[in-house]
């Protein structure tokens, strides 16, 4: 029985993780559940799965008898009883949980991108010092992990991340200026939470994935590329010295990488097998970095490192929130991020409190920028 502490249980990834636990009750159970605001959904999950402990970061909830209610500040206790810490919280909030899970010495299944984007140095230091098994959940990084025979330290010559291209791949600048939140939330192939769906439309998400790949596979930015693949069947590729490339294929369904992160190298029945003749053909197109500045902003911040990726992410979280609320246009997401990056000097990333301070300051900057330049 694998006991899972699931952080972000009420979100898109969290709910799909619960589906897997429902499907294999003899293999998995929840030792702890945590979420941000949705206390009612947390209550329902607690009643169904009866974890030992549960925590609601910002909302209120009443757990059923037998489930210990943890208070804010007691997050470390979520990891006391687990075999795997599954970090599926959204945003910068995920970093703290990842660091606490690493401190507790637990295996980490990492869906939260911001942990490595903002805190890559801190997380990887803890992972190395404590010999933590850090397993990617993101479909692209899971694909790379599979192609590397489940070894993050395996040799390769290049990593290539695939991108659907989002809903606006063929849009001109003028068309991009007119897109609405509803347009951007209509992702062509994946069904995900709102923030990552908008990040897929701006291609910021692919920039995040480049940074994640740099940390996960301890490589250089120059060895990581991206290609557009609208069908989202090839989830990423690894090139080797001899010119060979390995790819991992599957229908776009996050339950496959979620499940594999829990059981690897063992595989459990999950998706239907690929029907290649029914697919007909697979398409690969150039990556349109010049029309989607968020991608380059992310990669540049990642290359600069230190506190700058935290500035990038904080500004992005504020800007996406404002875009979803109809307060700024689509191109203003990149504009807000660019201005925030220009306003903060780089410092070495030294500690979580320092990054939390940077996050708060960059959010204040972005909120101010949005209120003076928005609609």
Ligand X SMILES: NC(=O)c1ccc[n+]([C@@H]2O[C@H](COP(=O)([O-])OP(=O)(O)OC[C@H]3O[C@@H](n4cnc5c(N)ncnc54)[C@H](OP(=O)(O)O)[C@@H]3O)[C@@H](O)[C@H]2O)c1
Which residue among 17, 21, 32, 38 contacts ligand X (CB under 6 A)? 38
113, 187, 229, 235: which one contacts ligand X (CB under 6 A)?
A: 113
In the numeric block, which tokens belong to residue 283?
């398409």
Q: Is 51 in the site for ligand X (CB under 6 A)?
A: no
If one asks whether residue 90 binds ligand X (CB under 6 A), the answer comes out as yes
The site for ligand X, by CB under 6 A, has a size of 30
**45-60 burial: b if 16+ Cβ within 10 Å, else e:** bbeebbbbbbbbbeee
Binding to ligand X by residue 331, rule CB under 6 A?
Answer: no
The one segment of 31-39, 142-150, 274-282, 344-352 that binds ligand X by CB under 6 A: 31-39
Q: Which of 8, 166, 167, 302 binds ligand X (CB under 6 A)?
A: 8
Among 112, 200, 232, 236, binds ligand X (CB under 6 A): 112
In 3D space, the residue among 137, 81, 140 whose CA is nearest the CA of residue 108 turns out to be: 137
Does 318 bind ligand X (CB under 6 A)? Our answer is no
Q: Is residue 193 near ligand X by the rule CB under 6 A?
A: yes
* Cα–Cα distance, 329 to 246 (Å, whole number): 39
The full DSSP string for 295-349 is HHHHHHHHHH-TTHHHHHHHHHHHHHHHHHTTSS-SHHHHHHHHHHHHHS-----
Rounded Cα–Cα distance for residues 257 and 331 (Å):
32
User: CB 199 → ligand X: shortest distance, Å?
Assistant: 7
* Residue 166 found at the interface with ligand X (CB under 6 A): no
Residues 6+ apart with CB under 8 A from 368: none
The answer to whether 13 contacts ligand X (rule: CB under 6 A) is yes
Q: Which is nearer to ligand X, 21 or 93 (CB)?
A: 93
Minimum CB–partner distance for residue 277 and ligand X (Å): 28
Applying CB under 6 A, among 52, 93, 297, 349 the residue interacting with ligand X is 93
DSSP string, 254-271: THHHHHHHHHTTS----S
Which residue lies nearer to ligand X by CB, 226 or 369? 226
Q: How far is the CB of 119 from ligand X (least distance, A)?
A: 12
Could you say whether residue 111 binds ligand X (CB under 6 A)? yes
88, 145, 152 from 265: Cα distances, Å: 21, 10, 13
Residue 106 Ramachandran class (φ > 0 left, ψ -120 to 50 alpha, else beta): beta
Count other C-beta atoms under 10 Å from residue 83's C-beta. 15
Among 14, 63, 119, 207, the residue binding ligand X under the rule CB under 6 A is 14
**Measured at CB, which residue is nearest to ligand X?**
11
Tell me which residues touch ligand X (CB under 6 A): 7-14, 34-38, 57, 88-90, 93-94, 111-114, 138, 190, 192-193, 195-196, 254
């Amino acid at each position: 029985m694998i006991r899972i502490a699931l952080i972000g249980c009420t979100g898109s990834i969290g709910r799909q993780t619960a589906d897997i636990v429902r499907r294999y009750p003899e293999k998995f159970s929840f030792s702890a559940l945590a979420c941000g605001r949705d206390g009612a959904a947390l209550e329902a999950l607690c009643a169904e799965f009866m974890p030992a402990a549960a925590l609601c970061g910002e909302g209120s909830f009443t757990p059923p008898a037998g489930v210990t209610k943890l208070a804010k500040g007691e997050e470390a206790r979520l990891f006391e009883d687990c075999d795997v810490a599954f970090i599926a919280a959204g945003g910068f909030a995920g970093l703290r949980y990842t660091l606490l899970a690493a401190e507790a010495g637990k295996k980490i299944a990492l869906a939260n991108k911001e942990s490595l984007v903002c805190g890559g140095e801190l997380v990887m230091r803890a992972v190395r010092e404590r010999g933590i098994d850090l397993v990617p959940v993101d479909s692209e990084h899971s694909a790379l992990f599979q192609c590397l025979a489940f070894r993050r330290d395996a040799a390769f010559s290049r990593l290539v991340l695939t991108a659907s291209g989002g809903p606006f791949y063929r849009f001109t600048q003028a068309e991009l200026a007119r897109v609405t939140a509803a347009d951007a939330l209509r992702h062509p192939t994946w069904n995900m939470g709102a923030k990552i769906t908008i990040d897929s439309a701006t291609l910021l998400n692919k920039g995040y994935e480049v940074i994640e790949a740099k940390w996960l596979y301890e490589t250089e930015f120059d060895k990581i590329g991206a290609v557009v693949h609208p069908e989202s069947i090839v989830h990423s590729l690894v090139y080797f010295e001899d010119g060979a490339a390995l790819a991992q294929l599957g229908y776009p369904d996050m339950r496959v990488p979620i499940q594999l992160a829990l059981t690897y190298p063992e595989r459990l029945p999950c998706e239907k097998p690929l029907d290649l003749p029914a697919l007909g053909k697979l398409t690969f197109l150039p990556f349109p970095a010049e029309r989607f500045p968020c991608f380059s902003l992310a990669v540049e911040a990642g290359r600069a490192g230190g506190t700058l990726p935290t500035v990038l992410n904080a500004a992005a979280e504020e800007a996406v929130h404002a875009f979803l609320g109809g307060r700024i246009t689509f191109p203003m997401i990149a504009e807000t991020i660019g201005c925030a990056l220009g306003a903060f000097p780089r410092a070495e990333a030294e500690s979580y409190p320092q990054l939390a301070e940077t996050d708060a300051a960059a959010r204040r900057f972005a909120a101010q920028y949005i209120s003076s330049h928005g609609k």
